[in-house]
Structure 1
Amino acid sequence: MSFSAEDLATLLDEANHAPWESVRAALATIDGQPHPRVGWLTGHLTATKRGYWTLVAAATATPAPDAAAGLTRLMAWEVDATRALNTEALQIPLMHSNERLTVSELLRLNARHTAWHAGQIAALATHTRLA
Structure 2
Amino acid sequence: MRAALSGVEGQPHPRIGWLTTHLAVTKREYWSLIAAATGAPPPPDDYGLTRLMAWEIGAARALSDDALTRRVVHAGAEFGVAELLRLNARHTAWHAGQIAALADRSRSA
Instruction: Indicate if the aligned counterparts of 2:30 and 2:84 stay in contact, CA closer than 8 A.
Output: yes
> What RMSD, in angstroms, separates the aligned Cα atoms of the two structures?
1.0
Name the residue aligned to 2:46: 68
Q: How many aligned residue pairs are there?
A: 109
The offset of 1:105, in angstroms, is 0.2
State the Cα deviation string for residues 38-64 of structure 1 (Å, max 9, x = none).
000000000000000000000001100
Correspondence for 1:118 among 96, 101, 105: 96
Name the residue aligned to 1:105: 83
The offset of 1:67, in angstroms, is 0.9
Percent identical among aligned pairs is 62
Q: How does 1:1-131 map to 2 (within 5 A)?
A: 23-129=1-107
Structure 2 unaligned regions, length at least 5: none
Stretches of 4+ moved more than 2 A in 1?
A: 128-131
Structure 1 unaligned regions, length at least 5: 1-22
Instruction: State the TM-score, normalized to the length of structure 2.
Output: 0.96
Q: Tell me the distance in 2 between the aligned counterparts of 1:44 and 1:99.
A: 20
Q: Tell me the distance in 1 between the aligned counterparts of 2:22 and 2:43.
A: 16
Instruction: Indicate if the aligned counterparts of 2:71 and 2:81 stay in contact, CA closer than 8 A.
Output: yes
The offset of 1:130, in angstroms, is 5.4
Instruction: Indicate if the aligned counterparts of 2:43 and 2:55 stay in contact, CA closer than 8 A.
Output: yes
Q: Tell me the distance in 2 between the aligned counterparts of 1:50 and 1:71.
A: 10
State the Cα deviation string for residues 16-40 of structure 1 (Å, max 9, x = none).
xxxxxxx110110112110000000
Q: Tell me the distance in 1 between the aligned counterparts of 2:21 and 2:34.
A: 20
Instruction: State the TM-score, normalized to the length of structure 1.
Output: 0.81
